A and B are shown apart, each in its own frame.
Chain A
Amino acid sequence: MKKIFYIMSVCAAAFMAGSCMEIDNFDAPDQHFTGRIIDSTTGENILADQGECHVRIWEKSYSLNPSPQDIPVKQDGAYNNSKLFAGTYDVVPEGAWWPADTVRVGIGGGKTVTQNFEVTPYLRLIDFDAKIENDSLVVSCRLDEPPVVEGMPNIMDIRPFLSLNQFCGAANCISHYSTIDAYKKNINAKWEKVKKLEDGKSEVYQFKLWVKPGYTYFVRMGARVKDTFQKYNYTEIKKVEVPAE
């Protein structure tokens, strides 16, 4: 019986060792692809939240109908992936902007490939203000006339986002505020139907939020339209220090 055990162990060891013999001769992915998402109305990088929007890529040299991969867009509006296989890729940025054209990019040769995209955001948020009144945080903003009105999907909602670190937006916020209906304005209408002031821009959207004394908040507001992705366009981020009691 013992012998059988030995024989079996030797067999098993040989079997396991055999699996080490295969040599993986494919290089690890090491190609670098990067770029910026530029807001065509300002020429600056788009105001984004860390990881909310993405650049979608398809490796066309690998398959006729490949699965997409997503490279997240960072808060500064740039994207970056330094671990891609060399190949031919179809690339398109997807997020809170009008659909952009897909471009074909060859990635390889060890050089960093940079591809910037100029996109038109659906909405522009203006006159953003955040201040402490008594024990509450009062935030407000307005919607500028959209860069393109023709054919724009319904505007869904507008709401504030609060965070305790410098990353702030729908993907990085204190979830408590998004569970309460009072901290959100549902619009669900076309731009033409949105209430406006005399200058043709929207009414003021204002929210009064309960905040903790002695804390530092990072605050911004966002609004989105009912397109494919339903991602937010943002204001800049304001840092607000709530005085201790």
Chain B
Amino acid sequence: MRKVMKNVKYIFAAAVLGLMATSCNDLDLDPKGQLYENVLLSSDTGVKKYLALVYQDLPIEDFNYKQNGDNKGYATVNSGGWHSGNKWEAQKGSPAAAAMEAVGRDPSYGDSWGYWPYDRIRDINNMIERLPDYRDSYGEDKYNELLGEAHFLRAYYYFGIVKRYGGVPIVDKVLDPTAESSTLQLPRNTEYECWKFIYEDLKFAMENATASKAETGRANRWAAGALMSRAMLYAATNAKYGQYIGTTGEAVSKGLMVMDPSYAEEFFQYSYDAAKWLADNGGFSLHTGADKEKAYTEVFIEPTVEDIYVKQYGPNTTTPTNTSLFHCWDTMVLPLGTGLASNVGAALQPTWEIMGLYEMPAIIDENGNPVRFNSPEEIWNNGEMEARCRANFFFSGMTESVSGEVIEIQAGVYKSYPGTAADGTEETQGSTNAYTDQYRVRASQPGTRQTVDGVEVQVSGKYGLSEGTGDEGYTRTGAFIRKYVNYNGAAADRVLFGSTQSWKVFRYGEILLNWAEAAYELGLEKGDESLKKEAFTYVNMIRERAGASQHDMVEAPADLGTDVYGFPIDENLQYIRDERARELCFENHRLYDLRRWRVADIMFLDGKFAHTLLPYYVIDEGKWIYLNEVEREGRKVTFDKKWYYEQMPGGEISKNPNIIRNDGY
């Protein structure tokens, strides 16, 4: 022992000496292996490297976007300099649950994680400022294309913050960190100025960025046009409906949050023009096919003519860790089972609130009684359900193609069902009341057979419902999400971080819906009937591809809004909004849509239960019924009015006393 200690001493002494000796060397050398601006900004390859982090952090609400719980935020949110990625739990805190498109674990808006990406904005500003020094390295076109790309990226970041906070400080140049701090403590610009700033950046990008679609995942002018159509619609509805939130205070009176409704028309026009420009020049169209159901699933898995901008992912075995460039969609939405989910399973499940918006057979007749079906499959295979609905959800009896599994769903059995649908769907957690206690039998495990009233029957489906297996793994709502499920993938990839399908950041389907909404709203602003009619041509293009029936504009629309929300929303506008919900479900639009329409606080006032589409076997009749029960976990969706504008991050206020807080908190 002593010998060892002695040796250690010598080694230690030698190490200390060595350490001190090296410090005599001059340290003021450029480290080898680092790239500087002169390399990064003088070639297209260099710029790609320079922008890598800017692209990785782009505020895209993709598969990895989590708005609540641990590690919330964009998957690559910069926490203390680290990019904490790999958000396998993202679907548990999905915005879809807070918009009641699906049930997850976090049913309320929880986005306040202090999003403040001025580090990336600085990177972009630096590029825009320094690129002229390397102008000679490029041809005129390439130079302008790179500048256009930078402006698109900057607009995307500002869109990410302005949609959260309203007005923020506009920083469009590189600030010197050694300058006097008072010159760095920039006040917030007004919300209007911020949206206009985004408009100017995107206008530049649409004119200058490349028109080539060759490089998937890299921004081009079409992506800029698509963001213009989306962002300007946000700005326009913020302006038009902001007046109805009824918040007052310093930030409101200074225009930092809530815009004057007179700005709405200007922004609706920008959105309209951008969509039209894309349609006229971009060469995009809706992806379709003879089998409409199959074609619709292809939109989300294959590269198609509908893609405008796509975010790609790789297998987690070869993609660098902590980059969040892989995801877990398949194993998070499919149920647990062989060839299906290997981990977690069904963390996000569709609600009746979204499923019920599609064309499908009636499940309640005119007397309020549940319609009797011969089999649970009749709801989707009798020809009444639109193709898009079958492509978006797995209903009982559908076959999942990779595993070859039949998705068997059964909520339970009714010994008899003498009552109306309302009797079995009490507005209580899990819809439990004296009626269900008397007639309803459910099982604690999936795939249970048992004897009920002397008859042996199947009580629960192989993939749910089961009352004793927690909130994940098997269905609670009577269906599973099919949208974006990779039918090309291998069953072995249905593990955490195993999914590699791309996220369609912008697709032409969304542009048509942006166009329809902007056209109809413009028609309302200007009193122009032809613009309103035009909106429905785009809606019907979407519906045609979806395999749904055509819908004409109602000539004298009823006002559906005033009695519910206290401000008018006409029947036609509501239809356009519902079409948006149908077409864009689970693409993380809905929460932000409900928010910009300023309807979420009333829609979810005092907390609202999500509902289900649960198939039951009625023993004495030998028939099947579907019930819209309250979801069994009974998590209520809530939305506080103050969430229309998030509070400014406290840390930023303590650094910059000129930042005025938002009102309503």
Binding site for B on A (CB under 8 A): 63-65, 67, 99, 153-154, 156, 178-181, 186, 188-189, 225-230
A67–B659 CA distance with the chains assembled, in angstroms: 12
A178-B606, A179-B606, A226-B566 are contacts. A154–B246 as well, Cβ < 8 Å?
Answer: yes
What 0/1 pattern do residues 559 to 598 of B give for CB contact below 8 A with A?
0001111100000000000000000000000000000000
User: Could you say which of B80-88, B260-268, B437-445, B650-658 contacts chain A?
Assistant: B650-658
**With an 8 A cutoff between CB atoms, is B248 at the interface?**
yes
B641 close to A (CB within 8 Å): yes
Contact, CB under 8 Å: A228 / B658: no
In the complex, chain A residues whose CB is within 8 Å of the CB of B660: 65
Cα distance A64–B185 in the bound complex, in angstroms: 13
CB pair B566 A228 closer than 8 Å: no
B603 within 8 A of A: no
Interface membership of B249, Cβ < 8 A = yes
In contact, A65 and B658 (Cβ under 8 angstroms)? yes
B664 part of interface (Cβ distance < 8 Å): yes
**Which residues of the partner chain A approach B249 to less than 8 Å between Cβ atoms?**
228
Indicate whether B663 reaches chain A with its CB closer than 8 angstroms. Answer: yes
CB distance from B256 to the nearest CB of A (A): 14
**What's the tally of chain B residues with a CB closer than 8 Å to chain A?**
24
Given A64-B657, A154-B246, A227-B247, 5 more pairs with CB closer than 8 A: A179-B607, A188-B602, A226-B246, A227-B246, A229-B664
Query: When A64-B657, A65-B653, A178-B606 are in contact, do A228 and B248 touch as well, CB less than 8 Å?
Result: yes
Which B residues lie at the A interface, using CB under 8 A? Answer: 244-249, 427, 562-566, 602, 606-607, 641, 650, 653, 657-660, 663-664
Cβ contact within 8 Å between A189 and B659: no
Please state if B246 and A188 are interface contacts (CB–CB under 8 Å). no
Q: How far is the CA of A226 from the CA of B566 in the complex (A)?
A: 10
A185 to chain B, nearest CB (A): 12
* 26 pairs, CB–CB < 8 Å, chain A vs chain B: A63-B657, A65-B658, A65-B660, A67-B650, A67-B653, A153-B246, A156-B566, A178-B606, A179-B427, A186-B564, A188-B562, A188-B563, A188-B565, A188-B602, A189-B562, A225-B246, A226-B244, A226-B245, A226-B246, A226-B641, A227-B246, A227-B248, A228-B246, A228-B247, A228-B663, A229-B664
State whether A65 and B659 are in contact (beta carbons under 8 Å apart), knowing that A179-B606, A188-B602, A230-B641 are contacts in the complex.
Answer: yes
Q: Which residue of B lies closest to A63 (CB)?
A: B657
Shortest Cβ distance from residue A62 to the other chain B in the assembled complex, whole angstroms: 11
Q: How far is the CA of A230 from the CA of B639 in the complex (A)?
A: 13
CB closest chain-A residue, reference B607: A179
Set of chain A residues within 8 Å of B244, measured between Cβ atoms: 226
The CA-CA distance from A186 to B565 in the complex, in Å, is 10
- Measured in the bound complex, the distance between the Cα atoms of B650 and A188 in whole Å is 34
Q: Which residues of A contact B653 (CB under 8 A)?
A: 65, 67
Q: Are A188 and B657 in contact (CB under 8 A)?
A: no
Residue picked from A65, A99, A154, A178, most chain B C-beta under 10 Å: A65
Q: Which residues of B contact A226 (CB under 8 A)?
A: 244-246, 566, 641
Taking CB as reference atom, which chain B residue is nearest A228? B247
- Residue of A at shortest CB range from B664? A228
5 closest Cβ contacts across the A-B interface?
A65-B657, A188-B566, A64-B657, A154-B566, A226-B246
* Nearest Cβ on chain B to A72's Cβ, whole angstroms: 16
Closest chain B residue to A153, Cβ basis = B246
- List the A side residues contacting B247 at CB < 8 Å: 227-228
The smallest beta-carbon distance between A231 and chain B, in angstroms, is 12
Q: Report how far A180 CA is from B606 CA in the complex, Å.
A: 10
Interface centre among B245, B248, B565, B566 (most CB of A within 10 A): B566
Report B-chain residues with C-beta under 8 Å of the C-beta of A153: 246
The residue from B566, B641, B663 contacting A189, defined by CB atoms under 8 A apart: B566
Instruction: Point out the residues of chain A lying under 8 angstroms from B246, CB to CB.
Output: 153-154, 225-228
Shortest Cβ distance from residue A197 to the other chain B in the assembled complex, whole angstroms: 21
Do A188 and B248 contact each other (CB < 8 Å), given the known contacts A63-B657, A65-B657, A178-B606?
no
Complex alpha-carbon distance, A67 and B661, angstroms: 9
Contacts of A228 in B (CB 8 A): 246-249, 663-664
Q: How far is the CB of B407 from chain A (nearest CB, A)?
A: 33
Complex-state Cα separation, A183 to B244, whole angstroms: 25
> Does B248 lie within 8 Å of A99, measured CB to CB?
yes
| Distance in angstroms between the alpha carbons of A227 and B658 in the assembled complex | 26
Contacts of A230 in B (CB 8 A): 641
Q: How far is the CA of A64 from the CA of B187 in the complex (A)?
A: 13
CB distance from A149 to the nearest CB of B (A): 16
Task: Give A178 to B636 CA distance when docked, in angstroms.
Answer: 13
Given the complex, which residues of A lie within 8 Å of B562, measured CB to CB?
A: 188-189
Query: Complex: how many Å from CA A188 to CA B601?
Result: 12
Q: Which residues of A contact B650 (CB under 8 A)?
A: 67
Shortest CB–CB separation between residue B342 and chain A, in angstroms? 38
Report Cα–Cα, A64/B244, bound state, in Å: 31
The smallest beta-carbon distance between A229 and chain B, in angstroms, is 8
Collect the chain A residues with CB atoms within 8 Å of residue B663's CB.
Answer: 228
Which residue of chain A has the shortest Cβ distance to B640 in the bound complex?
A230
- B658 partner residues in chain A, CB cutoff 8 A: 65
Q: Inside 8 A of A186's CB, which chain B residues have their CB? A: 564
Task: Tell me, in angstroms, the Cα distance from A179 to B606 when the chains sit together.
Answer: 7
A156 to B249, CA, bound (A): 20
Cα(A226)–Cα(B659), bound, Å: 26
In the bound assembly, the distance between CA atoms of A57 and B639 in angstroms comes to 26
CB neighbours of B607 from chain A (8 A): 179
Q: How far is the CA of A199 from the CA of B602 in the complex (A)?
A: 31
Chain B residues within 8 Å of A64, by CB: 657
Q: Which residues of B contact A189 (CB under 8 A)?
A: 562, 566
Residue of A nearest to B561 (CB): A188
User: With A and B bound together, what is the CA distance between A112 and B660 in angstroms?
Assistant: 31
